[in-house]
Chains A and B, each alone.
Chain A
Amino acid sequence: MAQTGALGDKIFRAVLLLAATSILLIVAGIFVMMVQNAMPTIGRFGIGFLFGSEWKPAQEEFGALPFIYGTLVSSVLALIISVPISLGIAIFLVEQAPKGIAKPIAFMVELLAAIPSVVYGLWGIFVLAPFIREYLGPVLQGYLGFIPLFQGRVTGIGMLTGGIILALMITPIITAVVRDVLEAVPTTQREAALALGATKWETTTIVLGNAASGIAGAVVLGLGRAIGETMAVTMVIGNSPQISASLFEPANTIASLLAANFAEATDRTYLSALIEIGLVLFLVTFVVNAFAKILVMGVASRNGKAA
């Protein structure tokens, strides 16, 4: 029995180890494949690839800047819209709402994350874009038209539409992580604050302060998700590689460039440029996610020990 047990242990462990290692192999495989295929343009354009502002495959001119710009601006826009709302929901659910209300609402917010990207895109094309063109755009332009951000023609297709769709998509993610972080803050802290005469809202701000790095982690996690989002964005952002001050203007992101063009790049240099920009996306999301994880882990372990 002991003999078969020892052998069984070895086999069992080896099988599990193999499965776990496959995750490492996949990530390493993706990285190696991309570096290998991107080598021609990495060698040819060097670091200038990242800062060139012209993307002209026909002339073999590849500057990734408009795509990097579009990716960052649409993601940051999404954060600006989503973070206050997500924080509001999380505070409401953890600190304020009675259980009977909190549960169904939490459930419904999570369902938002279950809706596929392509469905958000469909909804964006046929509902959100016309709404922005007919109502939101003219209103914003009417009141804030003096700011360059809100100048130019309003077509309903562009950076703002992309940002709003992204905001909707990352809200459940940020909300969920912030909830976890808030719940990890020990109740003793709240009780102590209340005992010292703090109001309920003051207590909440103290809790938020203690959870700050975890909340930052949630935000960074949302950023990572927004950066990599593909289908919904490509359907509403206008696919035009330009750097424009106006949020109504079309833009393009790295992920939607890949979705529209990867299948048809015949030219070796073009393909290499596409894979290199994909590599940039890969590395950025990797770093952003790693950073988010470190931030969230910090809160969990600190409060875990405190409790």
Chain B
Amino acid sequence: MNGTMFRSQNLIALFLIASVILSFGCSGQKLGEGPGTTAPGGSLQLQGSGASFPKPIYEKWVSEFGKANPNIRIDYQATGSGAGQKALLAKTADFGASDDPMSDEDLKSAGGEVLHIPTVLGAVVLTYNLEGVKEPLKLTGQTISDIYLGNIKKWNDERLKKDNPNLTLPDADILPVYRADSSGTSAVFTDFLSKTSPDWKTKVGMNKQPSWITGVGVGAKGNDGVMGQVKQTPNAIGYVELTFAKANSLPTALVKNKAGQFVEASLESVAAAAAGSVASMPDDLRTQITDADGAAAYPIASYTYILVYKEQADAAKGKAIVDFLWWATHEGEKFAKDLHYAPLPAEVVKKVESKINSMTAGGKALRQ
């Protein structure tokens, strides 16, 4: 009895001492190292976070770039465009990502000049879960706005039937799904609706996190979340990046553009939407291309951006970011098509190159 007692007591003592030492050891040492440490083998680790719109291609990029540059580990977490901008401002990530360019106000509050690097073009599509409807649904800015405003409640509403004379739409309630988090996809979507529906402009407007009409629809987190919700729920409709709908073989609606044509979202129609505005792209590259001119243009298209500080605090990291951005906007573009993103137009790549070339660390250019 005595023997066992003392053994267990010694065990406890040993454990307590060991754990106290360990805890001080771990926390102290790791805190001291601070951010930006090198991973084992002298490799660099970069943290990116933000938009979920380009998640599939960014995951592909960091994976492929990692294969080519095993000493640089890049992690991308699709936390949402709002979170991406916050992570950049709070400097909890090395680069942010957002579909919606940052506001002038946020840019002013940033601890340094922020560059917007467009990476690819994408389309926001309306995807829906309607049994028995085989042909693609046709929607206009006005009908989409009416659905999300709660004016169109049933699938067999006259206003929907008018644009879709060939479809037998069910007598069922529409469940609109929207983004509950702050999202660049929402910004692009509401930007288009504000341009095409006066009602929408006054009642909701364009925003990363718009004020959805109370009682209409359900919210979900991330492109993933909206897609999951639409997929799980019959008679639901939601807006997501094209690649998410394609990956799930869910249908996408044709949307009426400025020229009056119902256009399917595709690489070509997105490229057509960008083509018209390349010449007029502002110097800081922040631009919207929704409701673009041109008969072939898909009207809910957008650039998506990586956000970085022009002046990098850490030269080694800055170099890695510059290399990654260069690789992504050049070699990386070849992965775009398979994932249903449109590559950057050549003229835009030129503008991106000059932005990347302007990045510095300690006053020295990072790209030689």
Contact = CB atoms under 8 A, between A and B. Distances in A.
A–B direct touch in complex (beta carbons closer than 8 A)? yes
Interface of A: 54, 56-59, 61, 66, 125, 129-130, 133, 153, 155-158, 234, 238-244, 249-250, 252, 260-261, 263-266
B319 interface: no
Interface in B185-238: 205, 207-212, 214-215, 217-221, 228-229, 232-236
Given A240-B180, A263-B86, A266-B86, A58 B211 contact: yes
A141 B205 CA distance: 36
Nearest to A268: B109
Nearest to A53: B214
Interface string B127-171: 000000000000000000000000000000000000000000000
A54 B219 contact: no
B232 A240 contact: no
A239 B219 contact: yes
6 contacts: A157-B233, A240-B180, A242-B214, A250-B217, A261-B182, A265-B182
B248 to A, nearest CB: 15
Contact of A56 (B208, B211, B218): B211
B221 A264 contact: no
A240 B212 contact: yes
Contacts of A61: 211
Q: Can you list the 8 inter-chain pairs with the closest CB atoms, starting with the nearest?
A: A264-B82, A264-B83, A56-B211, A239-B219, A238-B218, A239-B180, A153-B173, A250-B218
Interface in B223-269: 228-229, 232-236
B89 interface: yes
Interface of B: 79-80, 82-83, 85-86, 89, 106, 173, 175, 180-182, 205, 207-212, 214-215, 217-221, 228-229, 232-236
Contacts of A58: 205, 207-211
Contacts of A242: 214-215
A135 to B, nearest CB: 14
A260 B221 contact: yes
Contact of A264 (B181, B214, B215, B236): B181
A179 to B, nearest CB: 30
A244 B218 CA distance: 13
Contacts of B210: 58
Nearest to B211: A56
Nearest to B106: A266
A156 B234 CA distance: 10
B89 A266 contact: yes
A129 B232 CA distance: 9
B91 to A, nearest CB: 13
B219 A238 contact: yes
Contacts of A130: 232
A250 B216 CA distance: 9
Contacts of B180: 239-240, 252, 260-261
A8 B229 CA distance: 62
A277 B182 CA distance: 18
A244 B219 CA distance: 15
B120 to A, nearest CB: 22
A157 B211 contact: no
Given A153-B235, A243-B214, A265-B182, 18 more contacts: A56-B211, A58-B211, A59-B211, A66-B214, A125-B232, A153-B175, A157-B218, A157-B229, A157-B233, A234-B221, A238-B218, A240-B218, A240-B219, A242-B214, A244-B215, A252-B180, A260-B180, A264-B80
A156 B221 contact: no
A239 B221 contact: yes
Contact of B79 (A54, A125, A263, A266): A263
A157 B205 CA distance: 27
Contacts of A241: 214
B233 A263 contact: no
A129 B220 CA distance: 15
Contacts of B86: 263-266
Contacts of A264: 79-80, 82-83, 85-86, 181-182
Contacts of A57: 182, 209, 211
Nearest to B83: A264
Contacts of A261: 180-182
Contacts of B173: 153
B175 A155 contact: yes
B82 A260 contact: no
Nearest to A158: B218
Contacts of B79: 263-264
Given A58-B211, A153-B173, A155-B233, A239 B218 contact: yes
Nearest to A241: B214
Contact of A240 (B89, B106, B217, B235): B217
A109 B86 CA distance: 43
Contacts of B215: 242, 244, 249
Contacts of B106: 266
A129 B205 CA distance: 32
